[in-house]
Amino acid sequence: MKNIAVITSGGDAPGINSVFSGMLNTARNVKIWGYNGGFDGILSNMPKLINNLHTEEFVTDSKLLFQTARSKTPQMKNGIEKIVNKLKKDKMDALVVCGGDGSSKAAKLIDDFGFPVMVIPMTIDNDIDGIDYTIGHDSVINKIKDIINDLHKTAHNMPNRIFMVEVFGGNHGSIALSSAIASGSNMVFLPEYKLNLDKICDEIQKQITQKEYLIIICSEGAYLSDEYSSGNQGISFEIGKLISEKINERIRYSILGYFQRGGSPSSYDSIIGTKSGNLAIDSLLSGKHGYMIGIKNSDLSLIKLDKINLKKKELDKDLVLIAKNKKILV
In this predicted structure, what is the pLDDT of residue 315? 96
Kindly state whether residues 120 and 234 are assigned to the same domain: no
Residue of 99, 21, 92 whose CA lies nearest to 270: 21
Residue 64 or residue 81, greater confidence: 81
Is 101 part of any domain?
yes
Residue where a domain stops, chosen among 236, 262, 288 = 262
Per the CB < 8 A criterion, the answer to whether 91 and 1 are in contact is no
Please indicate, yes or no, whether residues 54 and 124 belong to a single structural domain of this protein: yes
Asked, for residue 316, whether it belongs to a domain, the answer is no
Evaluate whether residue 314 is within a structural domain. Answer: no
Report pLDDT for 196.
93
Give the domain CATH number at 221: 3.40.50.460
pLDDT at 183: 97
Mean pLDDT (the chain) is 92
Instruction: Evaluate if residue 54 carries a pLDDT over 70.
Output: no
Answer with the one of 204, 232, 262 that is the final residue of a domain. Answer: 262
Query: Are both 67 and 211 inside the same structural domain?
Result: no
Please say if the pLDDT value at position 225 is more than 70: no
**H helix or E strand, kind and range, residue 99:** strand 94-99
Q: Are residues 220 and 275 in the same domain?
A: no
Q: Find, among 137, 127, 177, the residue nearest to 266 by Cα.
A: 137
pTM (two decimals): 0.93
Mean of the pLDDT values across residues 52-72?
80
Confidence band of 226 (pLDDT split at 50, 70, 90): low
Span 130-140, average pLDDT: 95
Asked if the structure places residue 111 within a domain, the reply is yes
Within this chain, do residues 168 and 225 fall inside the same structural domain, yes or no?
A: yes
Q: Percentage of the chain with pLDDT > 90?
A: 80
For residues 131 and 190, state if they share a domain. no
pLDDT tens digits, residue range 294-327?
A: 999 889 999 999 888 767 799 999 999 999 999 9
Q: Is residue 323 part of a domain?
A: no
| pLDDT tens column, 33-42 | 999 999 999 9
Active site residue 318: no
Q: What is residue 62's predicted lDDT score, i.e. its pLDDT?
A: 75
Residue 274 binned pLDDT confidence (cut-offs 50, 70, 90): very high
DSSP for 288-328 reads --SEEEEEETTEEEEEEGGGSB-SPPPPPHHHHHHHHHTTS
324 in a structural domain: no
Q: How many domains does the chain have?
A: 2
Sign of CA dihedral 111, 115, 120, 123: negative
Per the structure, the complete domain to which residue 238 belongs is given by 137-262
253 & 274 share domain = no
Look at residue 230 in the predicted model and tell me its pLDDT. Answer: 59
For residue 313, is it within any domain? no
Asked if the structure places residue 213 within a domain, the reply is yes
Q: Check residue 95 and report its DSSP letter.
A: E
Pair (236, 284) in one structural domain:
no
**Complete DSSP assignment for 273-289:** HHHHHHHHHHHHHTT--
pLDDT of residue 25: 76
Give me the pLDDT at residue 231, please. 63
Q: For residues 205 and 184, state if they share a domain.
A: yes
- On whether both 185 and 222 belong to a single domain, the answer is yes
Looking at residue 133, what DSSP letter applies?
B
Same-domain check for residues 161 and 223: yes
Pick the catalytic residue from 12, 40, 101, 125: 125
Phi, psi of 257 (to 5 degrees): 55, -140
CATH of the domain at 33: 3.40.50.450
Please indicate, yes or no, whether residues 109 and 12 belong to a single structural domain of this protein: yes
